[in-house]
Amino acid sequence: MMALDGIRVLDLSRDVPGPYCTMLLGDMGADVVIVEEAAPPQGRRARANNPQAPVRDEATAARDPLRRNKRSIRIDLKHPDGHAVFVELARRADVVVEGFRPGVAKRLAIDHAALREVNRRLVYCSLSGYGQHGPLAPLVGHELNYVALAGALSMIGRPGTPPAIPMNLVADLAGGGLMAAFSIVVALLARERTGEGQFIDHAMTDGVLSLLTRIASQRFAGGPLPQPGQHRITGALPHYDVYACKDGKYLAVAPLEPWFHDNLCAAIGEVAVGEDAPPVEREAARARLQARFRERTRDEWFALLRERDACVAPVLDLDEALREPHHVERGMVVEVEHPTLGPIPMVGVATKLAATPGAIRRCGPAPGADTDGVLAELGHDAAAIARLREAVAVA
């Protein structure tokens, strides 16, 4: 048994946040059906130049982790018969996830209000950058825009340098996909009590602001305006920083608690300089630590300090992280068998439930790979499926 066995999810999203959200649900057992275009969109750049362009071949689809544990059906939502197929699917679904700009789902007559008429138990999640209402709701954007507007970007980096760009980890994945998945599971739990689904208006900017809850509260209470490198956990303290080592690699040093700080200093022969020390003393301590850590390689330092309760870790590049024995032992780097391509490496399932664990059950499907099977589940026979295909209502 898996935690979300029996939950059917229709995934209309395209870019990273929505597919990551539904990947998380699929990893925990949900039956996720990707609803894709019946024909390639016109005017899109080739995928080689645009990684967000639709997947069109089996090998690329299989290796895309955001498609794993999912099935795919291709539907022309603008075709009357294609629209009818989608409504049939929604009638039997538990969740719909869409990432259209505000108003698009309504124009397609597949918005929450329309689908609620056929399924009052449906949980419908609209995942967007700025939400379905508000002065900026219509704006287009991406991760960098959302973390900028939410205030997070202004805090990331070093003093006197432009803000550092945090890949798409903060808005797309954490504030977007992860928080949307949480919202969906909460709504499903609420449905068990009320018998009815509901609409989720999830904005990635809202998600990023939620991630800033604690630091915003400190500001509300009169604390200083956070600036890059000037907060205790953004580099203001010499004992919460990243240091270059003899081999040019880096060590992350973070013993915030006094007892851990004392352990570090005892192990490397330095004197602890506390948080309340004047800035000039803290910077002098940082200079000493910079010189000290250059005396050995990264891995030599980690070997020395890992058993000393000193809160240190090597800064691994991605290749190193994917080989790290700790991650491998915890099932965070796995191989998924594909029937024709063989084993495909992937990052594993982070949610560790003891009784109902998640799993990667299948690689990502090529677009439309499951069209016939999904239609058959709706009761369409071979002749009906052939008619839909001939009309290009599905593909």
Which residues are tagged catalytic?
A: 142, 172
DSSP 8-state class, residue 160 = T
> Torsions phi, psi of 33, nearest 5?
-115, 115
* Distance of alpha carbon 290 from alpha carbon 43, whole angstroms: 52
Structure tokens at 373: 């099977």
Structure tokens at 33: 């059906």
**Pairing status of strand 333-338 against strand 342-347:** antiparallel
> Which residue from 13, 15, 378 is spatially nearest to 184, judged by alpha carbons?
13
Collapsing DSSP to helix, strand or coil, 9 comes out as strand
Cβ burial of 244 (10 Å; 0-12, 13-18, 19+) is middle
* Distance of alpha carbon 63 from alpha carbon 145, whole angstroms: 29
* Distance of alpha carbon 156 from alpha carbon 166, whole angstroms: 8
* Distance of alpha carbon 150 from alpha carbon 213, whole angstroms: 11
* Distance of alpha carbon 24 from alpha carbon 136, whole angstroms: 28
Structure tokens at 388: 């839909």
